[in-house]
Amino acid sequence: MRHETLAGQPRIPTEVSAMTAASPNVKPAYLRIANVWKAFGEFHALKDISLDISEGEFVCFLGPSGCGKTTLLRAIAGLDLQTRGSIQQGGRDVSTLPPSQRDYGIVFQSYALFPNLTIAKNIAFGLENTKRPRAEIEARVTELLKLVGLPDQGNKYPAQLSGGQQQRIALARAIAISPGLLLLDEPLSALDAKVRTHLRHEIKELQRKLGVTTIMVTHDQEEALSMADRIVVMNHGVIEQIGTPTEIYRHPATLFVADFIGEANKFAARASNNAVGIGAASFSCAAHDFDDGTPVIAAIRPEDIIPHASGSLANGATANAIDVTISEMEFLGSFWRTRLHGHALGNETLIADFSINAARRLSLVQGVALTVELPAERLLIYPRGA
Ligand SMILES: Nc1ncnc2c1ncn2[C@@H]1O[C@H](COP(=O)(O)OP(=O)(O)OP(=O)(O)O)[C@@H](O)[C@H]1O
Ligand SMILES: [Mg+2]
């Protein structure tokens, strides 16, 4: 019997195809999501999602409510099968396997601990199915309790712990059987701000220590920026951009990403050769592919705008500078947020964030005139209407 696919192509073992698809200095993917679609009736919650995740990576799925983050995570977990496409983990095609035959631990937003079992029993739950000797299970539970910073809490019940503590137990339960993949669906969003920040570090630390490939779903950009090796930004069932936190923040591929992560001033503008016209002013910017005169959106982050003393950049000493007046100034603790108006901007408002030092140095107060610089390399240009 010949080993051929229907199309008559020779069958290639999945491990080999995964290896050859990667360039020599890139690790082969541990998790490979290929052309995944998910339909709920007529509605497509995921549209042709493809994504490779390396072993040991911490990846965040980030995007607004309803963009498909949980749907994708559930497909990876086998809790809700994709309509089309394939998922490989560790070189094994898991696309249609039930959850029990996949290799992952999962933590949900609601701690989902068994209320009638002690903390120790909760953590031991998955281990007991592995038929290990009792002493070994007990030792592992003790080790895990220590690992999540809650030694000596094993005899309590979930209701006797705080939300943050319960979530640490959920985490311990998820990693108890040393899964190849750790899946976290908004694990911190039910917790108050302080506990959240604290646990953020703990989870990241733990992940590093264990080296376990991790996917965390979140709609909190700060969480994603501070924890992820790579962020997958999703919107309406598609991937908008995949990149490291700095890539995503500094070089947003689309206006959606620029707007969703961090803040951005946006202006209707016109492209010209290596420049962009906003209102009456022309600003040089990084090279772009737009034809002269193409209507575009120019964007710049408030913190990228540089303040100078009024008139100090006169006589064209520096391009990309405009004269403005501060119409509003808001103290936000670590910086000042200002609303700026100026002749060159027409009726538009420019929001700029200035450091406490800069504000003091330049004696910035409401009503003061100053010159601001919009650095060419920080001006982002996007197609209009996209
Ligand atoms: N079982 C279902 N039946 C029908 N539609 C569904 C089902 N599950 C999800 N959807 C729809 O699919 C889309 C994606 O949902 P999903 O839960 O993946 O979003 P999400 O990105 O996780 O959002 P959130 O941040 O609110 O958790 C939504 O429009 C949702 O209404
Ligand atoms: Mg969700």
Delimit the domains of the chain by residue range. Answer: 14-18+27-260, 267-383
pLDDT above 80 (res 294): yes
- Residue 112: the pLDDT is 84
pLDDT tens digits, residue range 324-373? 999 999 999 999 999 999 988 888 999 999 999 999 999 999 999 999 99
- Residue 198: the pLDDT is 86
At the topology level, CATH places domain 14-18+27-260 in Rossmann fold (3.40.50)
CA-wise closest residue to 283 among 384, 264, 296: 296
- Residue 129: the pLDDT is 82
- Residue 318: the pLDDT is 59
Cα separation, 49 vs 34, whole angstroms:
6
**Whose atoms come closest to the Cα of 237: which ligand?**
1
CA of 275: how far to CAs of 221, 266, 292, 377, in Å? 30, 16, 9, 11
Ligand 1 close to Cβ of residue 66 (< 6 A): yes
- Residue 8: the pLDDT is 35
How many C-beta atoms surround the C-beta of residue 5 within 10 A? 9
Q: What is the best residue among 38, 60, 67, 219 to mutate for testing ligand 1's pocket, by most ligand atoms within 8 Å of CB? A: 67
Instruction: Work out the average pLDDT over 232-240.
Output: 97
Q: What's the CA-to-centroid distance between 44 and ligand 1, angstroms?
A: 10
pLDDT band at residue 152 under the 50/70/90 scheme = confident
Atom number in ligand 1 closest to CA 63: 21
Ligand 1 close to Cβ of residue 40 (< 6 A): yes
pLDDT band at residue 158 under the 50/70/90 scheme = very high
One CATH from 1.10.10.10, 2.40.50.140, 2.40.50.100, 2.40.240.10 for 267-383: 2.40.50.100
User: Interhelix angle for 193-210 vs 163-175, to 10°?
Assistant: 20
Q: What's the CA-to-centroid distance between 222 and ligand 1, angstroms?
A: 22
Strand-strand pairing, 43-54 and 29-40: antiparallel
Ligand 1 close to Cβ of residue 69 (< 6 A): yes
CA-wise closest residue to 150 among 138, 137, 164, 136: 164
Residues 6+ apart with CB under 8 A from 128: 137
How many C-beta atoms surround the C-beta of residue 283 within 10 A? 24
Greater confidence (31 vs 289) lies with 31
Average pLDDT across the chain, whole number:
89
Q: What pairs with residue 181 in β-bridges?
A: 104, 213
Q: Coil, strand, or helix at residue 332? A: coil
- Residue 305: the pLDDT is 97
- Write the residue with the smallest CA distance to atom 26 of ligand 1: 65
pLDDT band at residue 37 under the 50/70/90 scheme = very high
- Residue 47: the pLDDT is 98
Ligand 1 close to Cβ of residue 219 (< 6 A): yes
Q: What's the CA-to-centroid distance between 69 and ligand 2, angstroms?
A: 6
Using the CB atoms, write b or e for 29-67: b if 16+ within 10 Å: bbbbbbebbbeeeeebbbeebebbbbeebbbbbbbeeeb
Which pTM value belongs to this model?
0.87
pLDDT band at residue 9 under the 50/70/90 scheme = very low
DSSP assignment letter at 160: G
- Write the residue with the smallest CA distance to atom 4 of ligand 1: 40
Are 186 and 154 in contact by the 8 Å Cβ rule? The answer is no
- Residue 326: the pLDDT is 97
Lowest mean pLDDT among 50-64, 244-258, 267-281, 328-342: 267-281
Lowest mean pLDDT among 52-61, 159-168, 301-310: 159-168
- Write the residue with the smallest CA distance to atom 19 of ligand 1: 66
- Residue 315: the pLDDT is 52
- Write the residue with the smallest CA distance to atom 16 of ligand 1: 68
Atom number in ligand 1 closest to CA 68: 18
pLDDT tens digits, residue range 237-264? 999 999 999 999 999 999 999 999 999 9
Q: What's the CA-to-centroid distance between 155 and ligand 2, angstroms?
A: 32
**Whose atoms come closest to the Cα of 67: which ligand?**
1
Q: Coil, strand, or helix at residue 352? A: strand
**Whose atoms come closest to the Cα of 238: which ligand?**
1
Cα separation, 68 vs 44, whole angstroms:
9
- Residue 2: the pLDDT is 38
- Residue 26: the pLDDT is 62
Lowest mean pLDDT among 32-36, 74-78, 219-223, 382-386: 382-386
Counting residues of the chain whose pLDDT is more than 70, the rounded percentage is 91
pLDDT above 90 (res 192): no
Instruction: Work out the average pLDDT over 137-162.
Output: 92
- Residue 273: the pLDDT is 86
- Write the residue with the smallest CA distance to atom 9 of ligand 1: 71
